[in-house]
Structure 1
């Protein structure tokens, strides 16, 4: 068994899990922030 392949596979797995976790956290936060900013900027009495 080659140690390099296992290390690369573990690194890729950890990286993909980290990316997916950051995406699930960052995307809703960004959408909420943009929606809140544009919602506040846009006049409601239109």
Structure 2
């Protein structure tokens, strides 16, 4: 249930960013910024 909520939040958040900025580039930047901590910390966490 938690992962479903996280996925729904992410989808709605990206929709709001797209609607407010009208910029696919900015949506991509926000997506990368959200994924970056996971990508950097996952190898150390195992």
Tell me which interval the TM-score lies in, with the shorter structure as reference length. Answer: 0.3 to 0.5
Higher helix share: 2
Could you say which structure has the larger radius of gyration? Answer: 1
* Bigger relative contact order, structure 1 or 2 (CA pairs below 8 A, ≥6 apart): 2
